[in-house]
C-alpha cells in the first residue's frame, strides 16, 4: 500500500502550492465580505484545475471516478490550507463532475464535460432541503436524507418546484444539478434522480441568509427557491435510484481532505510563529502541544489516504465506511488542531490579520455537514452487522431485477438517458 504521490499528482500539488500566497492574501477579504471568490475560481480555471476531475476521454486529466480520486483530493487539501471558501467552491464543482461521470449517458457526458473543459463552466449540485430560516419542522425526521421537492412530469420533461437549502455556488453557476424523487417512487433507494437545469432560468430565485453564517462565508451557500423550472427529458441523468444503487462514491471523503487542509494551514501558521519566536521552543509544554497537533494531522491524512486507496482498488463498500471514519477524524482532529493553535500562539492569535480565528470558524462550519451522530451510527451498524453498503446514508440496497426503470414508471422516453 503505497501512498507516495505519482509524478502527475506531485506536479499539480506543486502548482496548487504556488498559488497559496495569492489565495491566502485574498482569504480575509472574501471572508469579511462574504463575497464569491471570483478571482480565485477564474485563476484555478485558467490554470486547468477544473480538468482534474474530468475523465481523460472527455479532454480532462482525471478518471471515471470524477471527484473521488487522489489527484483532485490532494489539490483540495492544498487549496483549503490557504482559503477554505475557495476549496469549498472547487469541491462543489468536482462533485458535479463525479455525478456526471457516474450517472450521465455518453452524450450527456460529452456535452457537459465539453462545457467545462472548453468554456470553464461552473456547476452546482443542489440536494439539501434543510433550510435554516425555517423554525418549524416540515416533515418527519428519519435519520436519512429526504427529498420532497416537487418534480412533476410534463410532455417533454419535468418541472421543479420547491426550496433547497445550502445551494453552494449555484448563484455563480451556469448549470444546477437538481436532486429529486422520480414521480411514482417513494424513497431515494428506488427513485432518486438528478436533472440538469439552467441556473439563469427566471424561475430560479437565490434567497438571502448565508450572510448570517460564521464560516465558509464566501461560498454562496444560501437557499434557492425553484418555481416551475423546466428540466428536459434529455437532461435527466440515468435511471431512478442510480445514485444510490449504481454510483459508488461518497462526498464525505472530499470533506475529509478539505477539513484536513484547513487544519494543516493553521498548523503551518503555528510553525511560522515558532520560527519567528525561537524562545517558544524552550517551553516543553508548547513543544508537547505541537507534537500532539502534528500527530493528529498525520492520523487524519493517513485515514483519508487509506479510504482513497480502497476506492482506487474498487473496494467501494469498504471505502464508503472508511470515508466516514476519515471524516470523523478530520472533524475531531481539525477542531483540536485549530483550538490548540490559539494556546500555542497566545494572544496574537486573536487578531484577524492572523488566519487562526478564520480557520477555526471554517473547520467548525464544515464539521456540521451531516450530523456526526448519523454518520457514526452508520459506521457502528456496519461494524455490528458486517453489512457494508456504500450509500447507506441515502437508502438501502435493491437487487437489480427489483429496481424500477423509467419504463416501469410509465416514462419509456427516458430509457436512453
Q: What is the pLDDT of residues 179-189, one digit of tens each?
A: 999 999 999 99
- Let me know if the fold of 1-120 is the same as that of 252-370: no
Confidence of residue 142 (pLDDT cuts 50, 70, 90): very low
pLDDT > 80? residue 137 = no
Is the per-residue pLDDT at 394 higher than 80?
A: yes
Per-residue pLDDT tens over the stretch 223-237: 999 999 999 999 999
Does the domain made of 252-370 have the CATH classification 1.20.140.10?
A: yes
Q: What is the per-residue pLDDT across 307-321, written as a single tens digit (0 to 9) for each?
A: 999 999 999 999 999
Is the CB of residue 172 less than 8 Å from the CB of residue 197? no
State residue 145's pLDDT score: 72
Q: In the chain, pLDDT over 90 holds for what percent of residues?
A: 91
Question: Which segment of 5-9, 197-201, 297-301 scores lowest on mean pLDDT?
Answer: 5-9
Q: What is the mean pLDDT of residues 164-174?
A: 96
- Alpha-carbon distance 176 to 96, whole Å? 9
Would residue 236 be called left, alpha or beta, if left means φ above 0 and alpha means ψ between -120 and 50 degrees?
beta
Q: Does position 131 have pLDDT exceeding 90, yes or no?
A: no
Residue-wise pLDDT tens digits, 190-217 = 999 999 999 999 999 999 999 999 999 9
- Looking at every residue in the chain, the average pLDDT score rounds to 94
Residue 234 Cα distances to 196, 231, 376, angstroms: 9, 8, 38
**CATH number of this structure's domain 1-120:** 1.10.540.10
Residue 139 pLDDT > 60: no
pLDDT in tens, 398-417: 999 999 999 999 999 999 88
pLDDT greater than 80 at residue 141 = no
Over residues 145-150, the mean pLDDT reads: 83
Q: Which three cell numbers stand for residue 269?
A: 501558521
- pLDDT given for residue 86 in this prediction: 98
Residue 84 has pLDDT above 50, yes or no: yes
Q: Is the pLDDT of residue 72 over 80?
A: yes
* Phi (first) and psi of residue 147, to 5 degrees: -130, 110
The ranges assigned to domains in the chain are 1-120, 252-370
pLDDT at 99 over 60: yes
How much of the chain is helix, strand and coil, in % rounded to 5? 55, 10, 30
Q: Which of 321, 411, 308, 294 is nearest to 375 (CA)?
A: 321
Distance CA 377, CA 68 (A): 23
Report pLDDT for 138: 42
Q: Which of 56-65, 89-98, 272-281 has the lowest mean pLDDT?
A: 272-281
What is the pLDDT, as a whole number, of residue 3? 81
Core vs surface per residue 209-227: b (16+ CB within 10 A) or e: ebeebebbbbbbbbbbbbe
Question: What band does 68 get if pLDDT is binned at 50, 70 and 90?
Answer: very high
Q: pLDDT confidence of 29, banded at 50, 70, 90?
A: very high
> Judging by DSSP bridges, how do beta strands 175-181 and 192-198 pair with one another?
antiparallel
Amino acid at each position: 500500500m503505497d501512498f507516495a504521490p505519482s509524478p502527475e499528482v506531485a506536479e499539480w500539488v506543486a502548482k496548487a502550492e504556488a498559488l497559496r500566497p495569492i489565495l491566502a492574501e485574498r482569504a480575509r477579504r472574501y471572508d469579511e465580505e462574504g463575497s464569491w471568490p471570483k478571482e480565485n475560481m477564474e485563476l484555478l480555471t485558467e490554470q486547468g484545475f477544473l480538468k482534474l476531475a474530468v475523465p481523460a476521454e472527455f479532454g480532462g486529466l482525471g478518471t471515471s471516478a470524477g471527484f473521488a480520486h487522489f489527484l483532485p483530493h490532494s489539490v483540495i487539501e492544498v487549496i483549503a490550507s490557504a482559503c477554505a471558501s475557495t476549496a469549498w467552491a472547487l469541491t462543489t464543482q468536482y462533485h458535479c463532475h463525479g455525478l456526471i461521470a457516474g450517472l450521465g449517458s455518453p452524450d450527456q457526458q460529452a456535452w457537459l464535460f465539453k462545457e467545462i473543459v472548453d468554456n470553464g463552466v461552473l456547476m452546482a449540485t443542489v440536494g439539501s432541503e434543510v433550510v435554516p430560516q425555517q423554525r418549524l419542522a416540515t416533515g418527519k425526521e428519519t435519520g436519512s436524507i429526504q427529498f420532497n421537492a416537487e418534480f412533476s412530469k410534463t410532455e417533454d420533461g419535468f418541472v421543479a418546484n420547491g426550496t433547497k437549502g445550502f445551494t453552494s455556488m449555484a448563484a455563480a453557476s451556469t448549470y444546477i444539478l437538481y436532486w429529486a424523487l422520480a414521480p411514482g417512487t417513494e424513497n431515494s433507494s428506488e427513485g432518486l434522480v438528478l436533472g440538469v437545469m439552467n441556473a439563469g432560468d427566471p424561475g430560479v430565485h437565490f434567497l438571502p441568509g448565508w450572510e448570517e453564517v460564521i464560516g465558509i462565508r464566501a461560498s454562496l451557500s444560501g437557499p434557492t427557491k425553484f418555481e416551475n423550472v423546466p428540466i428536459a427529458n434529455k437532461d435527466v441523468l440515468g435511471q431512478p435510484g442510480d445514485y444510490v444503487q449504481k454510483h459508488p462514491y461518497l462526498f464525505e471523503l472530499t470533506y475529509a481532505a478539505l477539513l484536513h487542509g484547513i487544519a494543516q494551514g493553521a498548523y503551518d501558521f503555528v510553525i511560522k510563529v515558532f520560527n519567528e519566536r525561537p524562545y517558544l521552543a524552550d517551553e516543553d509544554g508548547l513543544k508537547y502541544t505541537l507534537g500532539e497537533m502534528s500527530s493528529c494531522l498525520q492520523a487524519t491524512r493517513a485515514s483519508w489516504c487509506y479510504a482513497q486507496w480502497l476506492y482506487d482498488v474498487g473496494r467501494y463498500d469498504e471505502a464508503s465506511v472508511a470515508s466516514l471514519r476519515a471524516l470523523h477524524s478530520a472533524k475531531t482532529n481539525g477542531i483540536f488542531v485549530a483550538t490548540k493553535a490559539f494556546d500555542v500562539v497566545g494572544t496574537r492569535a486573536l487578531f484577524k490579520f492572523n488566519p487562526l480565528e478564520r480557520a477555526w470558524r471554517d473547520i467548525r462550519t464544515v464539521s456540521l455537514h451531516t450530523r456526526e451522530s448519523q454518520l457514526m451510527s452508520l459506521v457502528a451498524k456496519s461494524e455490528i452487522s458486517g453489512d457494508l453498503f456504500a450509500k447507506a446514508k441515502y437508502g438501502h440496497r435493491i437487487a437489480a431485477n427489483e429496481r424500477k426503470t423509467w419504463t416501469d414508471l410509465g416514462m419509456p422516453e427516458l430509457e436512453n438517458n
